[in-house]
Amino acid sequence: MNTLLKGKTILIMGVANKWSIAWGIAEACLDAGANLIFTYQGERNLSNLQKLTADLPNISLYKCDVTEDQDIIDLFHNIGNDYGTIHGIVHSIAFAKKEELEGAYYNTSREGYHLAQDISAYSLVAVSRHARPLMKDGGSILTLTYIGAERAVQNYNVMGVAKSALESSVRYLAADLGPENIRVNSISAGPIKTLAAQGVKGFGSILKVYEEKVPLRRAVTQREVGDTAVFLLSHMSRGITGENIHVDAGFHAMGLL
């Protein structure tokens, strides 16, 4: 337990189940004393989220499919009415069609390209725009990315390109929102076995490389990402914006493995 986020209201977007990175972040935020608000994409995940949060005090759940502008508008309108001010946002959302996450990148369809960009990168822009009026005391916006944005990672394909756009968006949003003391950063997480990750062909063999070759000789956990998220959401990181922090057991520091 710590008090790094005591008195702060944090919106968490992207909990599908207890394996989600967003859930690891939520647990770390709770241990740091935060008040949490969650979104869910559709009814399918509502019951998961209701079960996960059943024992937590003062939790609110709002629907938000980030492909729907009206959902994003309604989300921040309702949070504004219910809470007035928020201090942080965790954007832990991405999607690409399974068939685009294998084989050659040049086979990416126009529709698949647009879909991956829309959900995985543009959504951060729209969310930041509508969240801004509620971050009256300044704030911290955080998103999740992967090394496939910086390097060509086999099978990551269209998602790697979407993550590059996301990381670039972090820098532009940081420039826009910095004067309002709203910081925008990303965490580049190592591979973690989640629903989304299992859509990438050959995901299991990536985990094996981690165990054998990266500096810490293991994969990272949701909770390790969560602890870095608490740092980025808290006063402790007040001088950091437009940054990408690798929580990947040191993989990014290595040459070709």
- 191 touches ligand NAP by CB under 6 A: yes
- 21 touches ligand NAP by CB under 6 A: yes
C-alpha dihedral, 62 to 65 to 68 to 71, nearest 10°: 0
- 41 touches ligand NAP by CB under 6 A: yes
From CA 94, how far away is CA 6, in angstroms rounded? 29
Going residue by residue from 49 to 88, which x/- string records binding to ligand NAP, judged by CB under 6 A? Answer: ----------------xxx---------------------
- 189 touches ligand NAP by CB under 6 A: yes
Q: How many CB atoms within 10 Å of residue 98?
A: 10
Q: Which residues contact 1 (CB under 8 A, 6 or more apart)?
A: 31, 32, 33
40 classed as catalytic: no
- The CA-atom distances, in angstroms, between 89 and each of 10, 142, 158, 212 are 6, 6, 25, 35
Candidate ranges 28-36, 130-138, 186-194, 237-245; the one touching ligand NAP (CB under 6 A): 186-194
- 116 touches ligand NAP by CB under 6 A: no
Minimal distance, residue 190 CB to ligand NAP, in Å: 7
Angle of CA points 107, 110, 114, to nearest 5°: 120
Judged by beta carbon, residue 195 or residue 253, the one nearer ligand NAP is 195
- The counts of H helices and E strands in the chain are 8, 7
Interface ranges with ligand NAP (CB under 6 A): 14-16, 20-22, 41-42, 44-45, 65-67, 92-95, 119, 144-146, 189, 191-192, 194-197
